[in-house]
Amino acid sequence: MLLLCLFVLLFYFSLSPHLVPKTYNIQLNEYSDRDIRAPKQWEDEKATLIAKQEAAERVQTVFNIVALRNENLVDQIFQRMEQINKDSQVTQQNKIDIYRTEIPRRYSTYVDDFVRTNRASGTYNATLLEEMARIVKDQQYTIPEETFYKLPRLTAEQLSEMRTVTRDIVRELMNEQLREAETARTKVAELVNASSLSDRTQREIVQELARYALMPNKFADKEATDEARVLAQENTPKVVMNEGDIVVKDGDLITQEVYERLQALGLLQSKKSYWPHLGVLMLSALFALVLYLFLSHKSGASLSPAKSSYSNSELLMLLLIFFLNLMIMQIIGITQTQNTSFIGYLAPAAMGTMLIVLLLDFHLAMISSILFAMIGSVMFNVSQDRIFDFNYGFIIIVVSFAALFSIHRASQRSTILKAGIMVSLFGSIALLALIMVGEPIERSDLLYSVGFIFASGLLTAIFVIGLMPFFEVTFGILSALKLVELSNPNHPLLRKLLTETPGTYHHSVMVGNLSEAAAEAIGANGLLCRVGSFYHDIGKTKRPSYFIENQSNIENPHDSIDPKLSKSIIIAHARDGVDMLKSHNIPKPLRDIAEQHHGTTFLKFFFHKALKQAEEQGIEPDFTEDDFRYPGPKAQSKEAAIVGIADCVEAAVRSLRNPTMEHVESMINKIIKGRLEDNQFNECDLTMKELDKIAQTLKETVIGIFHSRIEYPEDVKPKERLT
């Protein structure tokens, strides 16, 4: 239960930095005693507003050119003069009065008509037309009074000549961009003097009429200016504070503006809430509950931790694996930012899954993979609008299951590297699939993401290869990889067994074949049984000649010694084997098999021999059956019990001269029944159904091994050839 509480704390401290906002005790108008960084991306609305205002102020006034076509005004004036001068009924004075009144008014009328026409057509916006009319009327030229006295005396020919010159001058000067009409009016005299007019009066009148017809044509467009300023404000980027940016430097004064910024970021302790802490704690407890229910389910219907099939040492190792995996993920998550979110793909999240499946259990590794994916989707989430980033969760699930099925039943260290390659391959496929169905990303980000996923697979393999020996030595875990290494015939103990006790070596190999087949038949660890069988009789190398399988062409030493001494020598091989295995740092599960494979079985042969000697000597026996039993302990695991059965079966079958299938089956059943009645299986969890499977498997395996020596019940006669 304490270990489960530690799991809750581990999950809490892994998740809280990402889910609980950090706050500070800061007072207004005081100096900060540390650097304070933004916990998330945040838009500074006040600074954004100021930036927009500054952008709008930088926009210059928009000026538009209005094509007034002033030559039309010239035509109107000259047409009216031709009309009036040609009328002989109008007196000279009346003509002067008409010109004095009508010509100045025609300027305003022309402008008003232009505004009305263009407003209706929509050529120019209303604001611009109003601004134009105001400025043009303000800059209207006043024709001198004496000019009106000269106009009635002009003939039609003179007016026609003057009209052409005036139109040309006005058109030429109005092609320029004029904000002030006076600028163009100063050039009129020069152009008139250069014209074809020779009469002085004509030139003077053309000058005045041309100046009169000239108007400014470049005006400030308020509406267009406002639109440009609005566009500039819209195009102004938001003032954003990225995650990790310094909000307040050490020693900075906490002004009202800074205080409001800290408040908006949720960094003030006055705004601190304990609800996020409680939520993270509840989430961590749920994760731990998942592990607890799974471990309890492994032991059966009961939820009692005492009945769990995992020891506290194994749970502690599981906790350490979770700690290392989450710590590495946390370190990589620290380097991740919103702009470099692809760094999260570098995390070797499948490392924990591979270690658990190699050192503990396949199904536990599956459950752990789901937990790693859930926690990873929080750790690598750079978005502020959600708690989990299921893109990372999906990637972690895929790479974990790829590692899980690649490393399952691994028998060589090279398998770990192959599993790392599978992690890289399937992780890349999953990433590309997510990109194809989601939003497109930059090509550089895509290359970085795929590259980091490939690197994560290699990192996973490197970490697993490096950490495996640590866990194996520290916790005495016997992984499949370690078992395969210990089964190497070049191991010093196996070399010693082969060279000094070849009979025992052969016997051990045969027991390994039998026990492995029986163990796999009931779902036990077959590889552990095989390797345990290789070492179970290593103690016989101390006194090899006292064991019958090594007595080749020599007399049996037991024929000439006291049966009690023989008993001591035989029994000692289990204890001697354990000592030898300890001296060579052989893991405890293998030592347990060597110590427990005989349990507390009875040495009948030497007991009866001792009884016979006592009867022949006519003395009362000073010993009991218990004195001729192995000291034990009895088998504590299925594997130790299976090796003990296989050891006895192999020796018994080898002792048969002409074994038949019936003899073999009867002997196997007899051995198992004898051990069962002798209570040798009381301390391991073998069931009667499993014992039946073991008996059946041993029979089939023995028949396969010793087929050349086993006589079948009856010969099959060949059919007579038909003639």
Do 319 and 390 fall within a single domain?
A: yes
Do 494 and 458 fall within a single domain?
A: no
Nearest to 701 by CA among 505, 533, 454: 533
Q: Do 201 and 210 touch, CB atoms closer than 8 A?
A: no
Do 281 and 348 fall within a single domain?
A: yes
Q: Which residue has the tokens 């404000």?
A: 233
**CA atoms of 145 and 100, how far apart (whole Å):** 8
**pLDDT tens, residue by residue, 88-124:** 888 888 988 888 888 888 888 888 888 888 888 888 8
Which of 445, 477, 509 marks a domain boundary? 477
Which of 429, 446, 477 marks a domain boundary? 477
- Is residue 535 over pLDDT 60? yes
**CA atoms of 396 and 14, how far apart (whole Å):** 16
Strands, E assignment, 427-500: none
- Is residue 334 over pLDDT 90? no
Q: Do 131 and 61 touch, CB atoms closer than 8 A?
A: no
Total-model pTM:
0.61
Do 458 and 490 fall within a single domain?
A: no
546 part of a folded domain = yes
- Peptide bond before residue 659 is cis, with ω within 30 degrees of 0: no
Do 594 and 509 fall within a single domain?
A: yes
253 part of a folded domain = no
71 part of a folded domain = yes
* Identity of the residue numbered 658: N
254 part of a folded domain = no
- Is residue 188 over pLDDT 50? yes
pLDDT of residue 710: 55
Rounded to 5°, the CA angle 454-460-466 comes to 140
Pairing state between β 42-43 and 36-37: unpaired
Strand partners for 602: 629
Do 653 and 535 fall within a single domain?
A: yes
**CA atoms of 318 and 321, how far apart (whole Å):** 5
**CA atoms of 535 and 487, how far apart (whole Å):** 9
What are the DSSP calls for 406-431, one per residue? HHTT--STHHHHHHHHHHHHHHHHHH
Q: Do 592 and 683 touch, CB atoms closer than 8 A?
A: no
Do 517 and 556 fall within a single domain?
A: yes
509 part of a folded domain = yes
Do 94 and 172 fall within a single domain?
A: yes
pLDDT of residue 321: 93
pLDDT of residue 41: 64
Nearest to 642 by CA among 549, 532, 548, 535: 532
Do 398 and 450 fall within a single domain?
A: yes
Average pLDDT value for the chain = 84
**Structural domain count of the chain:** 3
Rg (C-alpha) for the chain, rounded Å, is 52
Do 652 and 540 fall within a single domain?
A: yes
- Is residue 420 over pLDDT 60? yes
pLDDT of residue 47: 79
49 part of a folded domain = no
Confidence class of residue 546 from pLDDT cuts 50, 70 and 90?
confident
CATH number at residue 700: 1.10.3210
39 part of a folded domain = no
**pLDDT tens, residue by residue, 196-214:** 888 888 889 889 898 988 8
Which of 477, 512, 528 marks a domain boundary? 477
Residues listed for the chain: 723
Q: Which two tokens stand for residue 191?
A: 């152009």
Q: Which two tokens stand for residue 722?
A: 């038909």
Do 505 and 422 fall within a single domain?
A: no
Q: Check residue 632 and report its DSSP letter.
A: -
pLDDT of residue 302: 35
43 part of a folded domain = no
Do 473 and 508 fall within a single domain?
A: no
Strand partners for 314: none
Rounded to 5 degrees, what are φ and ψ at 39?
A: -80, -10
Residues of the domain holding 342: 275-477
CATH number at residue 372: 1.10.1760
Kindly state the average pLDDT of the residues 325-332.
Answer: 90
* Identity of the residue numbered 267: L
